[in-house]
């Protein structure tokens, strides 16, 4: 018991008897017994709550058809090689995609600023440009779509974009 041999236990009981006396030892034993009983009752209560609130709902979810389908899919995936698993994963992570879109947005902003800075706005009331031929301005490159502002838009889950594409 607790890595204590018989001789050590007898020695501890003897010292406790000498230290506390014969009058207080039975009361201390009852107090320790009550504390152990309350601890056992509390731990059983926690076990019941965990069982009813966590484990049972998980088992019920696993017993449903969706849970069985997920278990079946997991069994099917168990025999895949590492190369097949790597091929099935998305090419870029969310963080990588977010960084790429931010870089594209920054490049588009720089492109717009450069075009605006290179071509000063002409004053329609000025007489200096009245006889001059208009300069051919290069066609602006097609701007990429603006960066999505929500996670749903990032992954193409928003309905607004789908409606626009169907109308076109």
Q: Quick one: which H or E segment has residue 85?
A: helix 82-88
Tell whether 116 is covered by a domain. no
pTM for the full model?
Answer: 0.32
Contact 101, 147 (CB under 8 A): yes
The pLDDT assigned to 24 comes to 86
Tell whether 71 is covered by a domain. no
Tell whether 107 is covered by a domain. no
Identify the sign of the CA torsion 54, 60, 61, 67: positive
Reported as half-sphere exposure (CB side, CA atoms, 13 A), residue 110 has a value of: 6
Q: Which long-range contacts (CB under 8 A, 24 or more apart) does 60-68 make?
A: none
Range of the domain at 12: 6-63
Contact 141, 107 (CB under 8 A): no
The pLDDT assigned to 89 comes to 67
What's the structural domain count of the chain?
1
The pLDDT assigned to 168 comes to 47
The CA angle 135-140-144, to the nearest 5 degrees, is 175
Dist. CA 108–CA 140, nearest whole Å: 11
Tell whether 97 is covered by a domain. no
Dist. CA 34–CA 27, nearest whole Å: 11
Tell whether 95 is covered by a domain. no
Tell whether 55 is covered by a domain. yes
Tell whether 157 is covered by a domain. no
Tell whether 83 is covered by a domain. no
Per-residue pLDDT of the chain (168 residues; tens, 9 = 90+): 578 888 998 898 888 888 888 888 888 889 989 999 999 999 999 999 988 888 888 887 777 777 677 777 777 777 777 777 667 666 778 888 899 999 999 999 988 887 776 555 555 455 444 455 555 555 555 555 666 567 666 676 765 545 555 554
Which structure tokens are listed for 166? 């169907």
Dist. CA 115–CA 138, nearest whole Å: 10
């Amino acid at each position: 018991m607790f890595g204590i041999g018989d001789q050590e236990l007898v020695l501890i009981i003897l010292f406790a008897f000498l230290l506390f006396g014969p009058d207080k030892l039975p009361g201390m034993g009852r107090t320790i017994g009550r504390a152990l009983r309350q601890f056992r009752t509390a731990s059983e209560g926690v076990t019941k709550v965990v069982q009813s609130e966590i484990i049972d709902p998980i088992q019920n979810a696993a017993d449903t058809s969706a849970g069985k389908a997920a278990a079946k899919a997991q069994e099917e995936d168990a025999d895949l090689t590492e190369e097949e698993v790597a091929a099935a994963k998305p090419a870029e992570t969310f963080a990588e995609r977010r960084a790429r879109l931010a870089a594209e947005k920054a490049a588009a902003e720089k492109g717009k600023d450069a075009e605006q800075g290179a071509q000063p706005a002409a004053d329609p009331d000025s007489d200096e440009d009245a006889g001059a031929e208009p300069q051919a301005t290069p066609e602006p490159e097609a701007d990429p779509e603006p960066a999505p502002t929500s996670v749903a838009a990032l992954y193409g889950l928003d309905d607004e974009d789908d409606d626009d594409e169907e109308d076109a």
